[in-house]
Structure 1
Amino acid sequence: MVRLILGLIDPQGVALRQAGRLRRRIYINNGPNFAIHLDGWDKLKPYGLSIHGAVDGFSRRVLWLKYCDSNKKPKYIFSFYLDYIREINGISVRVYYDRGTKNSIVRDVQIALRWTDADQYQGILSFVYVSSTRNVRIERFWRSLREMCGNVWMNHFKDMSDFGLLDTSDSVHLECIRYCFLLVINKDMNEVCNIWNTHRVRRNNRISCPAGKSEVLFFQPEVNGARDCNIPLVDNRELNDVEREYSQRPPELDVSQEFLTIARAAVGDLNLQYPHRNREEGTELFAAITMYIERLV
């Protein structure tokens, strides 16, 4: 009886479901800096490496891709967001992010900066909590990141663990991973960002965003009949006060000062090469430093 009634009141929906097709939602974006999508990538977190990134919804351009010992610290994330604000000398209309205390400072500052604006997305509507299925811009980038270089590093660290060289339960080993590999990983990630930001986005009739290269779409939206939605900052003095109190940048090489002192002593005593150029040299350096620390203990 229910099946027959549904066929009468919603024949189109029944036909679509029978065909195995879903009606997709239409993504609407007015231009660069209208909506930015933030998220963290945790695939390397078991090995002491956390990544945080942001993507512009209109151009798909990567706005930042940062490393830290934890992408759950609100002050770290706010420092990344603050660099973006200063780069464009303004704020985006909306920010999309998942729920959690890690984004509390970004949420409060975004709402505060947009509180007195008169558009339909002012105030609390300028920050939107979404699930991963709706945060598709940054989720799509994570997929490409994993395909381009993420899997290589995941497999490398897994091999180190399988051979007994890396103990993921030892905090010293995790700090040593960051010290030995962060510069090489950062080089790979910068190459990924350059490739992503200069690749040509194909046309899609289900979204309002045009096709083209991400860099061109972001910096020259007028070519595609769009406009930069950046909302200029009126006064930076309050932002400076907030930065002093709530912003914190990750430490050098994301390691403690104590470990940094010991690692530099090991490099000097053992006549090692630092910085290194590839994964193999980083692995040799990791083995040498961990053995040096074990002898000290």
Structure 2
Amino acid sequence: MSETQLITFYFTLGLSNDEILAFLKVQHNCNISLRTLKRRLKNLKLFRKKGYSPINQVATYLFKDTVRQETIRRLLKSIDPVGVEIRTRRRLRRRQYNNKGPNYLWHVDSYDKLKPFGIGINGCIDGFSRHIMWMKAGRTNNNPRVIGGYFVDTIQKIGGIPLTIRADMGTENRHIEQMQVFFRRDTGINIHRPAFLYGKSTANQKIECWWGILRKHNAEFWMNLFKKIQDDGYFNGSYLEKALIQFCFLRIIQSEMNSVVLEWNSHNISSSKNSILPRGKPLIMYHSPEIYRSNDYLISVEFDDLEIAREECVFLDQECPCDKDVFELCNILLNEAAVENIPSDPYNAIDVYLYLRNKLSCLL
């Protein structure tokens, strides 16, 4: 991308001027002054303080309805010190989470809430920056070769592997474990730190916490939508109907997840009492750890090793989101109905699903 495109991209992500300058310098070897950046933004008509604000935000600001959690905590301690002391004694003491830097520890897990409808989600998050490394929706999240494909694609994208990966005890993580150990076999880097860790889901807290974010911003809607289709009698859990769900909705779900991930990676993370990690934007913390007095623990991977690992993976075709035979048959039926593309609106996609379901029920 050109310098102008980079400035526009980082501005739309919500980065401050100082963060944009740091990113241009560190990631793109582009040195410009703050004055030059402000002039470029003005020429591009990119302003942060212009435009309309929602009326509820204006009302909140005018009437000062927002109260910080810390303020409430101090008020409760002053008003009811005895009650606070009793609750404090019974409080669960959580362990502090510590992570030394980007790519020091990745957390991998699968999300099964949409699995009854034929859609499995798998994701990975960097423990230090909370930057999402991958977040994929597919026909399965149980096939270790598919999960391995997500891992290999990410390695190729960022140029290396993390020091350690943590995952649940599941067969779907077996290929990632073997590849991670294979890549680290002769590095001689931090040999006392294991390449892969298995543990309970309760200990895999960073990715488990993020599933709550995903459910709130994406998955809850789809769970309710598919449950409504099921309750209305238009989904019985058969292989064919799962394939139709995948054909009609999988690409929409992935597109919306990409938007959620982009928003997450560019938002500000506040500090946490049970964590000594820095606060800031995941995008900045991951790519510019020196700002937070940390180091990048990324380990480079040889091209030949990556190609060997690639041969052991399965890469799902995003253009063919379901069974190939069902995909071809659905396209034939849609061409006959003069429907060129699957609608991007979920409710219009339901109409396509019902049409295909009725047509295939008559044919089979």
Normalization by structure 1: what TM-score?
A: 0.89
Which AA in structure 2 matches 1:289? Answer: L
Report % sequence identity. Answer: 29
Q: 2:219 aligns with which of 150, 169, 189?
A: 150
Quick one: distance in 2 between partners of 1:101 and 1:179? 27
C-alpha distance in 2, partners of 1:136/1:85? Answer: 23
Distance in 2 between the 1:29 and 1:17 partners? 30
Q: Match of 2:328, as an amino acid?
A: T
The match for 1:12 is none
Which residue is 2:7 aligned to?
A: none
Report if the CA contact (8 A) 1:98-1:131 is conserved: yes
Assess if the C-alpha contact under 8 Å between 2:271 and 2:279 holds in 1: yes
Cα distance in 2 between the residues matched to 1:56 and 1:242 = 21
Task: Choose from 288, 291, 296 the match for 1:220.
Answer: 288
Residue 199 of structure 2: aligned partner? 130
Q: Is the 8 A contact 2:152 2:309 kept in 1?
A: no
8 Å CA contact 2:342–2:352 kept in 1: the answer is: no
- The alpha-carbon deviation at position 115 of structure 1 amounts to 2.1
Which residue in the other structure is 1:20 paired with?
90
> What's the counterpart of residue 327 of structure 2?
260
Q: Give the superposition deviation at 1:218.
A: 0.6
Change in 2 beyond 3 A, CA 1:27/1:49? same
1:253 Cα offset (Å): 3.3
d(CA) in 1 for partners of 2:342 and 2:138? 18
Question: 1:44 aligns to what?
Answer: 114
Q: What is the alpha-carbon distance in structure 1 between the residues aligned to residue 184 and residue 130 of structure 2? A: 23
Which residue matches 2:262? Answer: 194
SS of 2:203 mapped into structure 1: coil
Output the CA distance in 2 between the equivalents of 1:230 and 1:258. Answer: 41
Residue number in structure 1 paired with 2:304:
237
Q: How many correspondences in the alignment?
A: 279
Partner residue, 1:272: 339
Corresponding residue SS for 1:254: coil
Partner secondary structure for residue 40 of structure 1: strand
Q: Partner of 1:3 in structure 2?
A: none
CA shift in 2, pair 1:121/1:98, >3 Å: farther
Equivalent residue, structure 2, for 1:4: none
Q: In structure 2, how many angstroms separate the alpha carbons of the residues matched to 1:149 and 1:269?
A: 33
SS of the equivalent of 2:137 reads strand
Tell me the distance in 2 between the aligned counterparts of 1:272 and 1:119: 55
Aligned to 2:32: none
* Structure 1 residues 121 and 148, CA gap change in structure 2 (3 angstroms): farther
Separation (CA, whole Å) in 1 of partners of 2:216 and 2:134 = 19
Shift of 1:17: 9.7
The aligned counterpart of 2:126 is 56
2:80 maps to none
C-alpha distance in structure 2 between counterparts of 1:239 and 1:189, whole Å: 27
Amino acid across the alignment from 2:103: N
Distance 1:16 1:91 in 2: 47
Asked if the contact 1:96/1:127 (under 8 Å) is kept, the reply is: yes
The secondary structure found in structure 2 opposite 1:78 is: helix
Instruction: Name which structure has the greater RCO, CA cutoff 8 Å, separation 6+.
Output: 1
Structure 1 residue identity aligned to 2:202: T
Q: Do the aligned residues in 2 keep the contact of 1:197 with 1:215 (CA within 8 Å)?
A: yes
Counterpart of 2:137?
67
- Partner AA of 1:154 in structure 2: M
**5+ unaligned residues in a row in structure 2: which ranges?**
1-84
Q: Structure 2 vs 1, CA of residues 260 and 225 (structure 1 numbering), >3 Å: closer, same or farther?
A: same
2:217 maps to a residue whose letter is M
User: Whole-Å Cα distance in 1 between the matches of residues 88 and 248 of structure 2?
Assistant: 55
Give the conservation status (yes or no) of the 8 Å contact 2:183–2:305: no
Deviation at 1:22, TM superposition (A): 2.7
In the alignment, the residues of structure 2 paired with residue 88 and residue 191 of structure 1 have an alpha-carbon distance, to the nearest angstrom, of 20
Q: Any unmatched runs of 5+ in structure 1?
A: 1-14
Are the equivalent residues in 2 in contact too, given 1:74–1:105 (CA < 8 A)?
yes
| 1:184 and 2:256 are equivalent in the alignment | no
1:49-76, CA deviations, whole angstroms, 9 ceiling, x for partnerless residues?
0000000000101110112211010100
Q: CA deviation at 1:205?
A: 4.1
Secondary structure of the residue aligned to 1:200 is coil
SS for the counterpart of 1:292 is helix
Change (3 A) 1:122 1:232: farther
Question: Could you report, residue by residue, the CA deviation over 1:104-152 in whole angstroms, capped at 9, with x for unpaired residues?
Answer: 11101111221223344557x1100011111011011100100112111
* CA deviation after TM superposition for structure 1 residue 274, in Å: 1.5
Q: How high is the TM-score relative to the length of structure 2?
A: 0.73
Structure 1 residue 262: Cα displacement: 0.5
Secondary structure, aligned partner of 1:242: helix
Shift of the alpha carbon at 1:241?
Answer: 2.1
Q: CA deviation digits over 1:144-203, x for unaligned, max 9?
A: 1001121111000000011111221x1111000010011211221111101111111111
Q: Judge conservation of contact 1:73–1:102 (CA < 8 Å) in 2.
A: yes
Residue 16 of structure 1 deviates from its aligned partner by 9.5
1:163 aligns with 2:229: no
